[in-house]
Amino acid sequence: MIETTSTRADTRSRIVEVAAQLLREQGPSAVTTRGVAEAAGVQAPTIYRLFGDKDGLLEAVAEHTMAGFVSAKAAVVAAASADDVDPLDDLRSGWLSQIEFGVANPTLFALMSDPARVIHSPAARSGREVLEARVHRIALAGRLRVSEPRAVKLIQSAGTGVIQTQLSTPPSERDAGLADDMFEAVLARILTDAPEREANTDTVTAATIAFRAVATKLDALTEAERMLLTDWLDRALELEQTRQRKNL
Angstrom distance (rounded) from CA 89 to CA 94 = 9
Instruction: Compute the C-alpha angle 155/159/163, nearest 5°.
Output: 175
Residue 180: pLDDT over 90: yes
**Local confidence band at 245 (pLDDT 50, 70, 90 cut-offs):** low
The whole-number pLDDT of residue 225 equals 79
Stretch 188-192: mean pLDDT: 91
Which tens digits make up the pLDDT trace of 229-240?
A: 788 778 877 877
Domain identity same for 69 and 166: yes
Q: Which residues pair with 191 in a beta bridge?
A: 144
Residue 241 and residue 127 share a domain: yes
SS (H, E, C) 174-199: CCCCHHHHHHHHHHHHHECCCCCCCC
The reported pLDDT for the residue numbered 65 is 87
Q: What is the pLDDT of residue 222?
A: 84
Please tell me whether residues 87 and 179 are part of one structural domain. Answer: yes
**Do 75 and 145 share a domain, yes or no?**
yes
Report the run of H or E that residue 165 belongs to, with start and end: helix 148-167
Count of structural domains, the chain: 2
Do 128 and 108 fall into the same domain?
yes
Domain housing 46: 1-52
Indicate the residue among 52, 71, 87 that finishes a domain: 52
- pTM for this prediction: 0.71
Name the nearest CA neighbour of 204 among 236, 243, 247, 161: 236
At residue 203 the predicted structure's pLDDT band, cuts being 50, 70 and 90, is low
- 43 and 82 both lie in a single domain: no
Could you read off the pLDDT of 103-122 as tens digits, one per residue?
998 888 888 888 888 888 88
Are residue 219 and residue 237 in the same domain, yes or no? yes
The answer for residues whose C-beta is within 8 angstroms of residue 158's C-beta and 6 or more apart is 182, 183, 185, 186
* Residue 218 neighbours by CB under 8 Å, 6+ apart: 226, 229
CA distances in angstroms from 30 to 22, 39, 40, 106, listed in the order given? 6, 11, 13, 15
Q: Which amino acid is at 51?
A: F
Same structural domain, 222 and 167: yes
Which residue blocks in the chain are alpha helix, DSSP H?
Answer: 5-26, 33-40, 44-51, 54-82, 87-104, 106-113, 115-118, 122-140, 148-167, 178-190, 201-215, 223-247
Contacts 24+ apart (CB under 8 A), 194-198: 195/142
Same domain, 236 and 131: yes
Q: Give 172's DSSP letter.
A: G
Instruction: Write out pLDDT tens, residues 135-175.
Output: 999 998 889 988 899 999 999 999 999 999 999 999 999 99
- Assign 95 a pLDDT band (cuts: 50, 70, 90): very high
* CATH code of residue 36: 1.10.10.60
Asked whether residue 28 falls in the same domain as residue 70, the answer is: no
For residues 218 and 204, state if they share a domain: yes
Contact 52, 62 (CB under 8 A): no
pLDDT > 80? residue 70:
yes
Q: Rounded mean pLDDT of 178-192?
A: 94
Mean pLDDT of 7-15: 88
